[in-house]
Amino acid sequence: MTTTDTTKDFLDFIAASPSSYHAAEEVARQLTEAGFSRQEENEEWSAEPGGHVMVRGGAVMAWYVPEGASPESGFRIIGSHTDSPGLALKPTPDFDSAGWQQVAVEVYGGVLLHSWFDRELTVGGQVLTKDGSRHLVNTGPLLRLPSLAIHLYRKDEFKPDRQRHMQPVLSVGTPETSVMGVIGNQLGVEPDDIASFNLITADAHRGEVFGAGEKLIAAGRMDNLSSVHASLRAMVGVASSSAALNNQDILVMAAFDHEEVGSSSRYGAGGPILGDVLTRTARALGANEEQRFQMFARSSCVSADAAHSVHPNYAEKHDPTHHPIIGQGPVTKINGNQRYASDAVTVNLWEDACRRAGVPYQRFVGNNDVPCGSTIGPISATRLGIPTVDVGVPMLSMHSARELVGERDQLWLGQALEAYLVG
């Protein structure tokens, strides 16, 4: 795919994925269209040659089994996550205040609070009705967090109270209006028929490409849909080419949920989902427990998550000798305190894949006075003992309602991930 084609496909993917649940189902849909078979967890596990995909809530796992796969194989894993910071709807979301109809929300993850004001928000996620049916919902532009006018707010620093000031407006002067009514109407059911839900806000506007010279992408949820999309394109690319036929290793895409809140869930990297997929696949190939451990020892993982680009207005926040920047390739993320799982062996593994793909790469190390975040990498490596490297596209405005990446970096990440899978 060309850069332009990749960008359009990426923006379509973001638009189709306002929540982790949508992202997981969109990955499964595209892989199924590419010839992967849907695997249900309560059915006999398949390690037949070809592609397989499984969805658990907002997480999606896919694996491609080549013809030569056996207990002598290993796993080549790409890890990412489907969730992003946002405003999650509380169980009883509708309330009135001063003549306005509002929606009660809980701050999900490390939200960059000010970025959520004065933009139209969609509500997306899963809804269960009382008949047991599960539905995915994407309302389109529905909510807004209006700022307080500067005439009424003379303080120098904007510090919204997370409880009082982060409740979006839905309507004014129409107390019969409710967010549950809107969602029920979209589903064709009465609000009372809605049994439960997991719903979150996202920026309602489609991503845009802009810039003079180096083209930039502005969109919501790119942390971490940038990595999910690049992983998806890499899996489809390898599975549809002869490269997969010459490889004995099982290729795995693991897109977890709940990374932004610590990964401790049955959908997250701290839960059993990836271990379940690897173990059941090994057993389906005839591996006993000892052989499974040997397969893990032959395996590797690329944990793909967004990286920090140098910010021109805050360059002092970065290490002075490590300045990754948008437009110069994917970033290898290194931290001596193990906030990232990279070590010398896995860094070489990843950067060799970049070289083979003809992709430039950069390195990120944190400023000693500025703590960095973490990823699914150390969590998965700790649980499974599989050598792991942390990488990602350089990004500005991370955890904003609308983030910023480079068009070429997104293309390059997918190409490097494909080279890693090919080996």
Task: Give tens-digit pLDDT for 171-208.
Answer: 999 999 999 999 999 999 999 999 999 999 999 999 99
How confident is residue 371, by pLDDT bands cut at 50, 70 and 90?
Answer: confident
What residue has token string 């068009």? 407
Q: Any idea what DSSP says for residue 116?
A: G
What confidence tens digit (pLDDT) does each residue in 56-80 have?
A: 999 999 999 999 899 999 999 999 9
- What mean pLDDT comes out for the span 309-333? 96
Looking at residue 314, its pLDDT comes to 95
d(CA 310, CA 324): 6
State the Cα–Cα distance between residues 373 and 307, nearest whole angstrom: 10
Query: Is 15's pLDDT higher than 90?
Result: yes
Q: How would residue 21 be classed by pLDDT, with cut points 50, 70 and 90?
A: very high
Assign domain 86-203 to its CATH architecture: Roll (2.30)
Kindly tell me if the per-residue pLDDT of 147 is higher than 70. yes
Q: Say which CATH topology domain 3-83+220-422 has.
A: Aminopeptidase (3.40.630)
Core vs surface per residue 400-420: b (16+ CB within 10 A) or e: bbbbbbbbbbbbbbbbbbbbb
Question: Which residues have a Cβ under 8 Å from the Cβ of 171 and sit 6 or more positions away?
Answer: 100, 101, 177
Nearest residue to 260 (alpha-carbon basis) of 53, 139, 106: 106
Beta carbons within 10 angstroms of residue 258's beta carbon: 25
The reported pLDDT for the residue numbered 423 is 85
What number is the average pLDDT over the span 157-183?
A: 94
Task: Report the side by side order of strands in the sheet with 216-219.
Answer: 208-210, 216-219, 403-406, 394-396, 307-308
Q: How far apart are CA 356 and CA 350, in angstroms?
A: 10
The β-bridge relationship of strands 100-108 and 86-97 is antiparallel
Q: Give pLDDT, residue 243.
A: 64
ω into residue 246 within 30 of 0, thus cis?
Answer: no
Inter-helix orientation angle 407-422/3-15, to 10° = 90
The burial of 27, by beta-carbon neighbours within 10 Å (0-12 exposed, 13-18 middle, 19 or more buried), is given as buried
pLDDT of 150 reads 86
- Residue-wise pLDDT for 240-295, tens only, equals 886 665 679 999 999 999 999 999 999 999 999 999 999 999 999 999 999 999 99
CA distances in angstroms from 33 to 26, 61, 290, listed in the order given? 11, 16, 36
Q: Which part of the chain has CATH 3.40.630.10? A: 3-83+220-422
Mean pLDDT, the chain, whole residue set = 96
How open is the CA angle 9-12-14, to the nearest 5 degrees? 110
Tell whether the model's pLDDT for residue 370 goes beyond 90: no
Phi/psi at 240 (nearest 5 deg)?
Answer: -95, 5
Q: Say which range, 212-216, 298-302, 400-404, has the weakest mean pLDDT.
A: 212-216
Please name every residue paired with 318 in a beta bridge, in sequence order, or none if there are none. 366
Tell me if residue 166 falls in helix, strand or coil: coil
Q: Which of 245-259, 293-307, 364-378 has the highest mean pLDDT?
A: 293-307
Task: Tell me: pLDDT of 18 over 70.
Answer: yes
What pLDDT score does 246 carry?
66
Other beta carbons within 10 Å of 33: 9
Dihedral angle sign, alpha carbons of residues 106, 111, 115, 120: negative
pLDDT in the model for residue 336? 92
List, by residue range, all CATH 2.30.250.10 domains of the chain. Answer: 86-203
Q: What is the DSSP letter of 243?
A: G
- What is residue 158's predicted lDDT score, i.e. its pLDDT? 80
